[in-house]
């Protein structure tokens, strides 16, 4: 997934960014709402982590504006505001989850996974695809009962296919899932990762539509 983190606390922001990266996700971190608006104009995000108290305004207003224009990107609020009324306001504004600071980073990872699964229409973290048994929560895969190790980028790419079964994904869409703005993308990156996934998971796991993109193969 590609995640937008909107958090002005330098220490917490760095910790959350590192946690997301360690989970194999791509993250862009901004500290202001105006920068967040620019980021969402220039890129497609799978999820937003939103602080409510920011230097240039309240996150609630940002969230309400997001929903008012029909943007359904999942949003998890991260805030020190812990009153029940604050939680109700955030959820009523369109948030998908609400996490009060300080929080455990492992819990944040679990909530990100839970929200992502709900949006892809598969709340069950266990998926069977042909000879593959996939645990989305633990990010583990078994092929014919034997564990398969994927790198963080390989997992991010495979997860993009799993979240959109049967849908054709262009090379540009897949590159967005792998890298943040400041990462360098080589011209053959997707081809290399797809080749490695086929070697590890089976030749038919990813199908190629020449000149158009790739899709998850039939089980």
24, 101: one domain = yes
Range of the domain at 71: 2-119
167, 114: one domain = no
Q: Quick one: average pLDDT of 109-135?
A: 81
Instruction: Specify whether the CB–CB gap between 67 and 41 falls below 8 A.
Output: no
The tokens for 43 are 């890129």
| pLDDT score of 137 | 72
100, 168: one domain = no
Determine the Cα–Cα distance for residues 91 and 39; give it in Å rounded to an integer: 23
107, 29: one domain = yes
| pLDDT score of 215 | 94
34, 133: one domain = no
Say what the pTM is: 0.70
Please report, for the domain that includes residue 147, its CATH number: 1.10.10.10
45, 103: one domain = yes
- pLDDT tens profile 129-150: 899 999 877 788 999 999 999 9
165, 104: one domain = no
44, 108: one domain = yes
Reported as a pLDDT band with limits 50, 70 and 90, residue 181 is very low
Secondary structure of the chain in HEC code, one letter for each residue? CEEEEECCCHHHHHHHHHHHHHCCCEEEEECCHHHHHHHHHHCCCCEEEEECEECCEEHHHHHHHHHHCCCCCCEEEEECCCCHHHHHHHHHCCCCEEEECCCCHHHHHHHHHHHHHHHCCCCCCEEEECCEEEECCCCEEEECCEEECCCHHHHHHHHHHHHCCCCCECHHHHHHHHCCCCCCCCCCHHHHHHHHHHHHHCCCCEEEECCCEEEECCC
18, 44: one domain = yes
Domain boundary among 86, 119, 152: 119
19, 77: one domain = yes
Compute the CA torsion angle 52, 58, 63, 65 (nearest 10 deg). Answer: 180
Structural domain total, the chain:
2
Residue for token pair 């266990």:
126
| pLDDT score of 179 | 66
Q: Quick one: average pLDDT of 166-185?
A: 75
- pLDDT tens profile 17-39: 999 988 878 899 999 999 999 99
102, 31: one domain = yes
| pLDDT score of 136 | 78
**Beta strands 2-6; 47-51: pairing state:** parallel
Cis status, amide bond into 198, omega within 30 of 0: no
């Amino acid at each position: 997934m590609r995640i937008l983190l909107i958090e002005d606390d330098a220490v917490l922001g760095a910790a959350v960014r590192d946690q997301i990266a360690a989970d194999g996700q791509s993250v862009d971190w901004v500290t202001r709402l105006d920068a967040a608006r620019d980021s969402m104009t220039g890129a497609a995000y799978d999820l937003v982590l939103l602080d409510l108290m920011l230097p240039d305004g309240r996150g609630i207003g940002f969230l309400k504006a997001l929903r008012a224009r029909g943007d359904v990107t999942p949003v998890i609020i991260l805030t020190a505001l812990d009153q029940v009324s604050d939680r109700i306001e955030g959820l009523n504004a369109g948030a998908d989850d609400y996490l009060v600071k300080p929080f455990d980073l492992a819990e944040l990872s679990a909530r990100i996974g839970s929200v992502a699964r709900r949006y892809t229409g598969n709340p069950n973290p266990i998926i069977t695809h042909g000879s593959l048994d996939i645990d989305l929560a633990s990010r583990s895969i078994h092929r014919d009962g034997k564990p398969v190790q994927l790198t963080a980028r390989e997992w991010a790419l495979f997860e993009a296919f799993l979240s959109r079964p049967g849908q054709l994904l262009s090379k540009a869409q897949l590159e967005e899932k792998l890298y943040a703005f400041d990462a360098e993308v080589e011209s053959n990156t997707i081809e290399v990762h797809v080749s490695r996934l086929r070697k590890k998971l089976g030749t038919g796991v990813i199908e190629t539509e020449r000149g158009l993109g790739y899709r998850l193969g039939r089980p």
